[in-house]
Amino acid sequence: MGAVAALDLGTGQACVVVGEVDERGVALVGVGTAPSRGLRKGVIVDVESTVTSIQKAIAEAETMAGCQIRRVVTSIGGAHLRGVTSHGVVAVRNGEVSSGDVRRVLDAARAVALPADRQVLHVLPQEFLIDDQEGIKEPIGIAGVRLEAKVHIVTSQSAAAHTLIKCCRQAGLSVDDVSLGSLAAADAVLTPEERDLGVALIDIGAGTTDIVLFHGGSVRYSATLPLGGGHLTNDIAAGLRTPTAEAEKIKQRYGRARAAGIDDHASIEVPSVGDRDARILPHQVLCQIIEPRVEEIFSLVSREIGRSGFEDGLASGVVLTGGTALLDGIADVAEGIFRLPVRIGSPHHVTALEDLVASPSYAAAIGLILAGGDHARPVRRMAPHPTTMLGRTRERVTEWLRDFF
- Say which amino acid occupies 128: F
DSSP 177: E
Q: Does position 230 bind ligand ATP by CB under 6 A?
A: yes
Q: Does position 205 bind Mg ion by CB under 5 A?
A: yes
Query: Which of 326, 333, 370, 397: binder of ligand ATP (CB under 6 A)?
Result: 326
Query: Which of 6, 10, 155, 342: binder of ligand ATP (CB under 6 A)?
Result: 10
Decide if 42 contacts 391 (C-beta within 8 A): no
Q: Does position 205 bind ligand ATP by CB under 6 A?
A: yes
* Binding residues among 50-79 for ligand ATP as defined by CB under 6 A: 77
Query: Which of 30, 83, 207, 373: binder of ligand ATP (CB under 6 A)?
Result: 207
- Among candidate residues 235, 286, 236, the one with its CA nearest the CA of residue 262: 286
Decide if 168 contacts 7 (C-beta within 8 A): yes
Closer to ligand ATP at the Cβ: 252 or 272?
Answer: 252
Query: Which of 83, 125, 217, 255: binder of ligand ATP (CB under 6 A)?
Result: 255
Q: How far is the CB of 217 from ligand ATP (least distance, A)?
A: 25
Q: Does position 30 bind Mg ion by CB under 5 A?
A: no
Rounded Cα distance, 97 and 142, in Å:
6
Q: Does position 224 bind ligand ATP by CB under 6 A?
A: no
Decide if 105 contacts 97 (C-beta within 8 A): no
Q: How far is the CB of 270 from ligand ATP (least distance, A)?
A: 17
Closer to ligand ATP at the Cβ: 88 or 372?
Answer: 372
Long-range (24+ apart) CB contacts under 8 A made by 142-145 are 142/96, 142/97, 143/95, 143/96, 143/97, 144/92, 144/95, 144/96, 144/97, 145/91, 145/92, 145/95
Q: Which residues lie closer than 8 Å to 337 by C-beta, 6 or more apart?
A: 295, 298, 299, 302
Rounded Cα distance, 42 and 223, in Å:
13
* Binding residues among 158-187 for Mg ion as defined by CB under 5 A: 181
Q: How far is the CB of 130 from ligand ATP (least distance, A)?
A: 39
Q: Which entry of Mg ion, ligand ATP, none binds 42, CB below 5 to 8 A by partner kind?
A: ligand ATP
Decide if 214 contacts 152 (C-beta within 8 A): no
CB-CB neighbours of 275 under 10 Å: 5
Q: Does position 367 bind Mg ion by CB under 5 A?
A: no
Query: Which of 217, 322, 345, 372: binder of ligand ATP (CB under 6 A)?
Result: 322
The residue range among 7-15, 84-92, 151-159, 390-398 that interacts with Mg ion, by the rule CB under 5 A, is 7-15
Q: How far is the CB of 365 from Mg ion (least distance, A)?
A: 9
Decide if 198 contacts 217 (C-beta within 8 A): no
Q: Does position 10 bind Mg ion by CB under 5 A?
A: yes
- Detail the DSSP E strand segments found in 258-381: 267-270, 279-282, 318-321, 342-344, 350-352
Q: How far is the CB of 322 from Mg ion (least distance, A)?
A: 5
Decide if 42 contacts 156 (C-beta within 8 A): no
* Binding residues among 332-391 for ligand ATP as defined by CB under 6 A: 361
Residues that bind ligand ATP (CB under 6 A): 10-13, 36, 42, 77, 181, 205-208, 228-230, 233, 248, 251-252, 255, 322-324, 326-327, 361
